[in-house]
Every structure is written in C-alpha cells, then in structure tokens.
Homo-oligomer: A and B are copies of this chain.
Amino acid sequence: MNPRQTNAKAFKDSAKGIPEATVARLPVYLRALQGLKERGVETVSSEELAAAAGVNSAKLRKDLSHLGSYGTRGVGYEVEYLVYQISRELGLTQDWVVAIIGVGNLGRALAGYGGFASRGFRVAGLLDADASIVGQRIAGLAVEHTDKLETIIKDQGVSIAVIATPAAAAQTVCDRVVAAGVTSVLNFAPVVLNVPEGVDVRKVDLSIELQILAFHEQRKAGGPHEEYIEVHP
C-alpha cells in the first residue's frame, strides 16, 4: 500500500520525524559549517564540528545520522555537502515569505536583521497600527497599516508571521494572520498565544531568559535554597 512499507530502507530515516531536540540544533550546526566553509575548510570531523557548535561529538553524530549517512569513516564530513543537506532538511533551499507585525524598537531591529535574508527569509511586509509610523521606510520597506494585513498576507504569499506588537494586541493579530492563512508564528509578545491545531507557534521572550539567568546567579551566590524555609501558615 504505502511504498514506505515495502521498501522502507531506501527512504530517509527522517521520514517519520527527526527529534525536536535535533531540529533545534541543526541551525547551530549549519552556522558553524558556514563559518568553516568561509574559512576554506573542506572536511570536518564530528569532534571539530561539535566543538565549534558547543555540543558533544556523540550527540552531533547521532543528530546527523537522523538525516542520513553523510559522513565518511576515517575522514569526517564534507563541509559543503553537509551544508546542503542540513539546509534542505530545514527547508532553507526554498524561500519563505515573512511579515513583521508591530514596528516598535524590536520590529525595527528584526526588519534590519541580516540573518534573515541570508537564510532564505524574505520580509514582504512591515505592518503597524500606529498611523504616525505607517509610511516610514525601514530597511528599504514602507510600513503599512495593519488594515492591509489580510491583503498583504494573501497577495505576497506570507507563510510565517512575526508578531512584535505589545502584549495586548498580540492575540488579535495572531487570530487575524491565522485566519488569513498563516500557519507559522514567531511570537515576541509576552503572552501565550492560542492557535488552532495545525498552526505552529514559537516564542522568544527576552525577559524569561534573564529570569532564568537570575535563578542560576542566585544559586551561585547561595540563594534561598540555603535557608531554612518556613511552612505556609
């Protein structure tokens, strides 16, 4: 019935899913590899690449083994070939159209961020609800009013929305982009977004990261765990 069942071995192991933890590390490997490539390195061992990516080498090998068998025993991995394979697996060999909603400080920083364009992400729209910002040119793009959100998403074929609005506006904006057909959302607003099945949300929260650091910092200094704690009265 399903060809996979008759000839499963010829299909990539990844068919049934690369572990999330691995997916999250692939971009790190990719960046390390691109660095090596720029320096003219043609071949790299798992040990070297692991060091460059800040992970241990067994983990690196297992991660890469999920994509297929792309190394040569006794030699290592061919940098250029591996760059291509990881890019393809991540979907970076095609272009992705992105819209950024909310052009405050953060939205501006995102619009100007070089790391997008170089990895196949094309910013097709900057939108804001504030009329005094609409019309400004930022990173070569004119800011549009959020009224046009649906139009832009559909006309430009936006598939990923970046939400950089204030917290209060985020859920509404999210509902609108989802209704307009977006299925992946990167959320910078400090709220938990509710989305229907089938839509992916990833969250980046600046203050959460700081809080996690504070927790560990406190531990180093001898935090509350050192004290005798009273019971809830």
Known: A96-B214, A215-B91. A11 touches B228 (CB 8 A): yes
Residues of A within 8 A of B (CB-CB), count? 77
Known: A11-B229, A108-B105, A115-B207. A28 touches B192 (CB 8 A): yes
- In the A-B complex, list the 10 residue pairs whose CB atoms are closest, starting with the nearest: A91-B218, A105-B109, A115-B207, A54-B192, A27-B211, A184-B213, A27-B208, A91-B214, A106-B109, A109-B109
Most buried by B among A10, A159, A229: A229
Q: Please report which residues of chain A, range 190-211, place their CB below 8 angstroms from some CB of chain B when the two chains form the complex.
A: 190, 192, 194, 198, 200, 202, 204-211
Report Cα–Cα, A106/B198, bound state, in Å.
Answer: 31
CB of A223 within 8 A of CB of B91, answer yes
Shortest CB–CB separation between residue A74 and chain B, in angstroms? 15
Q: Which of B81, B113, B208, B224 contacts A206 (CB 8 A)?
A: B113
Copies in the complex: 2
CB of B81 within 8 A of CB of A232, answer yes
Interface residues as binary, A1-45 with B (CB distance below 8 Å gives 1, 0 otherwise): 000000000111011000000011011101110000000000000
Kindly state whether residue A160 has any CB partner on chain B within 8 Å.
yes
Contact partners of A112 in chain B: CB under 8 A = 105
Contact partners of A116 in chain B: CB under 8 A = 206-207, 210
CB of B211 within 8 A of CB of A186, answer no
Shortest CB–CB separation between residue A169 and chain B, in angstroms? 15
Q: Which of B94, B184, B215 contacts A23 (CB 8 A)?
A: B215
20 contacts between A and B (CB under 8 A): A10-B228, A11-B225, A12-B224, A12-B225, A14-B225, A27-B205, A88-B224, A90-B218, A92-B211, A105-B112, A106-B109, A106-B113, A110-B206, A116-B210, A159-B217, A160-B210, A160-B213, A183-B220, A202-B209, A204-B206
